[in-house]
Structure 1
Amino acid sequence: MALGYSVHAFGRLFSRMYTSGASSDLVGFIGLGNMGLPMARNLMAKGHRLVVYDTVKTQVDAAVSDGAIAATGPSEVAKQATTICTMLPASQHVRDVYTSPGGIFSAVQSGSLLIDCSTIDRDSAIEMSELAKENNTQYIDAPVSGGVGAATNGLLTFMLGGPDDCYERAKPLLEKMGKNVFHCGENGAGQATKICNNMLLAIEMIGTSEVLLMAQNLGLDPKLCSKVINASSGRSWSCDTYNPCPGVMENVPSSRNYEGGFGTGLMRKDLTLAQAAAVGSKSVTPLGAMALHIYNLMCQHGFEKKDFSSVYKFLEQEN
């Protein structure tokens, strides 16, 4: 063939030419962990081209194998994409990714939309929104609920905090990763809603674990007991969708030694945020405080990297 190019080689050359430089239809995605990678995959499956970054190379490689473009850091993502999603573990990671010398704000394009799906403290979200305004960009806090299963299947719930126009701009993209997109108020309101949800989730998971352990001590079958609960007034997501007792449900962390899913350390982080918010708002939350105490103990006893439903195993050891 003339010039020595095969058809496949020419296709790869064209692809590199087409995807180089800034592009208005290219979406940036930073943070490819247990939640971020399946979220990114859903965007690609639904027609978006992605430029991605994560500190863990194997996660980047996994996204690239599905068609994403790898970036060397947050600033390179910001140079190429005018819509950027971030999905990071905690407030400090969000600050680093956005404000460090090689961060998003060091290279962000005017008019960009920044969607942070991390769960962080409300004040940090408000601070990021103010910095975004200084850089002539829009920022919206959009934490998620639903776990890895919902992230994989595009069934997440998004809780958004930001101006109306920012919400309307972000919603079509988020609907490709989730089934519910709620506008909770101004910047910070999404984070406030998320910590309320996760405090209740932690309390429910502890209660579900206590009940199923007690059921077995009473000679009951935990699978049958769960069916009864799920058809009765004690039903909860922790029991009917994410059951913590091994052998009751398939394809949940309890069926694979509590690997994957939402880590105990992350639940401790969210409960810490919730208790700080409770103190700041003068809210009485005795069960929330006890849940934080239990998850602190779990982290001290080797459960930090296990899914948060491993509270069942922790309590079982105490029996």
Structure 2
Amino acid sequence: MSTYAWIGLGNMGGPMTANLVAAGHTVRGYDLDAEACKAAATGGVQIAGSIAEAMDQADAVFTMLPKGEHVRSVYEADDGIWANATNHMLLADSSTVDIETSRAIHAGSQERGLNFIDAPVSGGISGAAAGTLAFMLGGAPELMERATEFIAPMSGKTIVAGGPSMGIAAKICNNMMLFIDLMASAEGSQLAEALGLDPEVFWQIASVSSGRSWAQQTWYPVPGIIDTAAANNNFEATFRTDLARKDIGLALDAGQSTGVQLPAASLAREHFDELISQGLGDKDCSLIVKNLLPDGVVRGWNPKETESAPSAAS
């Protein structure tokens, strides 16, 4: 059995660490959010008071954080990952970050003689809980077999994408496709209903036709069709709009740097920006469905319920 240090115990990190513990491994977790730490502790994670404490004699060190700036800070801090790492440890970042951050962490780790891979994931909160995430790995070939072993309890599929930062490159492209697919499900669902189709019947038709996608199967923005849809729960976030906006921005930045035109991704960004401008950045990204109707009224969305609900820690 292995000892893991885990930095970032939020919506993804919490259930991922629970699967490691369930597989018999020791996990020491660190997060600035007391509620996230409390939730992770119920899954068997040993809560550390610092990054150094979490990393003490660890075999692997994983980060799962919201943005590139957070990943840089925990690596570069005076008492951060680089300050406490040894060449025995495998360092892995499973966050969705910009290409430049990933390259910087690869380069800085290599300069220090440390073993780092980028290991972003796809599958969302449900995949994290079920241990069925798809991992995309980028880094030195000699690290991949060991990395795959560390990842196995959390993964349904692990694919080596290539050299340094190729995992995050794959993740950025994949998430861009996801949000474009989400737009298709939002538009298709509302047009079908406006034309008089029964919502469940149309979903069944799309499920066996060319309109099928992961977003249509998992995030369909109509209540009462699929259990995993945020539309069943007043669009409480399974994937926050502000984080979706961050991810689509990463793709657009990459498109600008490479000269690739991404008009559909630009439209997805507009949808997310519209929700954020309305103060809905903490709601599920599938709430873009409300942008499609003149009055913004869609089934499953009750803004008054949101206004009356107590605030919760993110």
Q: Distance in 2 between matches of 1:168 and 1:304?
A: 39
One-letter amino acid of the counterpart of residue 202, structure 1 = F
Question: Normalising by structure 1, what TM-score?
Answer: 0.89
Alignment-derived partner of residue 239 in structure 2: 262
Unaligned runs of 5+ in 2: 298-314
Q: Does 1:54 align with 2:37?
A: no
Instruction: Choose from 65, 68, 71 the match for 2:42.
Output: 65
1:58 is displaced (CA, Å) by: 1.6
Contact 2:135–2:159 (CA under 8 A) maintained in structure 1: yes
Give the percent of matched residue pairs that are identical in Structure 1 and Structure 2. Answer: 36
Q: Which amino acid aligns with 2:144?
A: Y
**For 1:175, what is the secondary structure of its paired residue?**
helix
Alignment of structure 1 residues 1-319 onto 2, 5 Å: 25-316=2-293, 317-318=295-296
Give the Å deviation of 1:230.
Answer: 0.5
Amino acid aligned to 1:81: A
Give secondary structure in 1 for the equivalent of 2:153.
Answer: coil
- Cα distance in 2, alignment partners of residues 252 and 234 from structure 1: 17
RMSD, matched Cα: 1.5
Change (3 A) 1:200 1:251: closer
Larger Rg: 1
- Secondary structure of the 2:136 match is strand
Unpaired stretches in structure 1, ≥5 consecutive residues: 1-23
**Once the 2 structures are TM-superposed, how far is the Cα of residue 83 of structure 1 from its aligned partner?**
0.6
> How many pairs align?
296
Contact 2:28–2:55 (8 Å) recurs in 1: no
1:279-298 C-alpha deviation (Å, 9 max, x unpaired):
11111111111111221111
Is contact 1:195-1:274 (8 Å) kept?
A: yes
1:3 maps to what in 2? none
Alignment partners' CA distance in 2, 1:65 and 1:231: 40
Tell me the residue number matched to 1:20: none
Structure 1 runs, 4 residues or longer, greater than 3 Å off: 316-319
2:193 and 2:43 map into 1 onto residues whose CA distance is 44
Per-residue deviation, 1:194:
0.6
| Cα deviation 1:188-221 (Å, max 9, x = unaligned) | 1111111111111111101110111111111111
Letter in 1 for 2:39: A
Contact kept, 8 Å, 2:60 with 2:150, in 1: the verdict is no
